[in-house]
Structure 1
């Protein structure tokens, strides 16, 4: 499991990104369970994720509407399969509007860069 903490902060909201190789939806659920064993991730407002398997893409916005699609698009563009990426957001009290999608992209980009480093 690779976790990059405090990727960015905007209007009080904080972002982190995590991921690991993953070959099924069951493994994705196990990964999320393991991630949430860390208290701060369990208390996060959103743990949005995406995963592209040979059988097709799966995602979960976890209340951050559209975030899973952003993650999937970036994974498709990079050709990353069988690898879950989770973007975590702790809500800071102010709505971010469309900026939240940019922040999800920034978090996924940081993860992909770290993965390829």
Structure 2
């Protein structure tokens, strides 16, 4: 799984983004399990994820960051990237970000797409 650490810091919250090719839900579950083998990611406040399968099926998980998975799905659809999992990880910094949290998720996905084409 490719990772970009310390993509964004906002009011104490730190963000990272990871991703890898997937073909089905089993691949997604295996990739998430693999990511969380790293204690740093296992202890993160949120590991929000999404993928759009080649048949057009969107899959997402908010992991407590309500609505963030849909943000990732929409960006994957716009980029026309299928069969690829993107995980945005947040370590909460003690200050609620409100709607800005969605901008930070977008920043992370954009950084991943830029770095990994």
TM-score tier by shorter-chain length is over 0.9
- Normalised TM-score (structure 1): 0.98
Partner SS, residue 104 of structure 2: helix
User: Which runs of 4 or more aligned residues in structure 1 lie more than 6 Å from their structure 2 counterparts after TM superposition?
Assistant: none
- Asked whether 1:25 is paired with 2:22, we answer no
Match of 2:80 in 1: 79
User: 2: CA distance between counterparts of 1:59 and 1:8?
Assistant: 22
Query: Matched residues in 1 for 2:6 and 2:99: separation?
Result: 20
Aligned-residue CA RMSD (Å): 0.6
Q: Partners in 1 of 2:69 and 2:4 — Cα distance?
A: 18
* 1:102-113 → structure 2 map (5 Å cutoff): 102-113=103-114
How far apart are residue 111 of structure 1 and its match?
0.2
Taking structure 2 as the reference length, what is the TM-score of the superposition?
A: 0.98
SS of 1:104's partner is helix
Equivalent pairs counted in the alignment come to 116
Once residues 11 and 78 of structure 1 are traced to their aligned partners in structure 2, the CA distance between those partners, rounded to angstroms, is 29
Secondary structure of the 1:64 match is coil
- The aligned residue for residue 15 of structure 1 is 15
What are the Cα deviations for residues 72-100 of structure 1, in whole angstroms up to 9, with x where unaligned?
A: 00000000000000000000011000000
* Structure 1: stretches of 5+ with no match in the other structure: none
- 1:55 CA displacement: 5.2
